Amino acid sequence: MAADVPTLYDWAGGRAAIRRLIDCFYDRVERDELLTAFFPGGVSEEHRDHVTAWWSEVFGGPDAYTRDHGGYERMLAHHVGLSITAEQRHRFASTMSLAADDAQLPDDPEFRAALVGYLEWGTRLAVQNSQPGADVVEHAPVPRWGWGVAPPYQP
């Protein structure tokens, strides 16, 4: 991709913006009848911080999740055995999309398409990995997501 195309992380507004997204998301999750049981007692500060690090890295920011939080293998371990249903996955993905509005992330079609593309991909992998006896990919790098076919519109 051309050197002047920003990362999704920078376009979103950096770590503070990703943290707003994650907070708005989990604030909704805590009130959601399909999702709240995954987080007994509420979504901890530690979880919010780690998931912020994950999304920041995926979107092209610092590689803090790989360096400090156990990387792909730790993320995988958290999803194994959860038995996430199709309905829960859809609620998770649609709630994150709503949270992007709550958090006032950029709402240009290109950015939101990239965000939802990663969400769709990531949540479907989470469902697969969470099933009993799933044949998981045990080791992988933290993914890096990009703009796909539509980089940001910059006249």
Q: Which residues bind ligand HEM (CB under 6 A)?
A: 35, 38, 47, 50-51, 54, 69, 74-75, 78-79, 82, 84, 88-89, 92, 119, 122-123, 126
Nearer to ligand HEM, 43 or 110 (CB): 43
Closest approach, Cβ 153 to ligand HEM, in A, equals: 25
Closest approach, Cβ 4 to ligand HEM, in A, equals: 28
Q: Is 152 helix (H, G, I), strand (E, B) or coil?
A: coil
d(Cα 11, Cα 151) in Å, to the nearest integer?
Answer: 11
Residue nearest to ligand HEM (CB): 122
CB atoms within 10 A of CB 61: 21
Task: Please give the span between the terminal C-alpha atoms of the chain, in angstroms, as a whole number.
Answer: 17
Q: Tokens for 133?
A: 């006896």
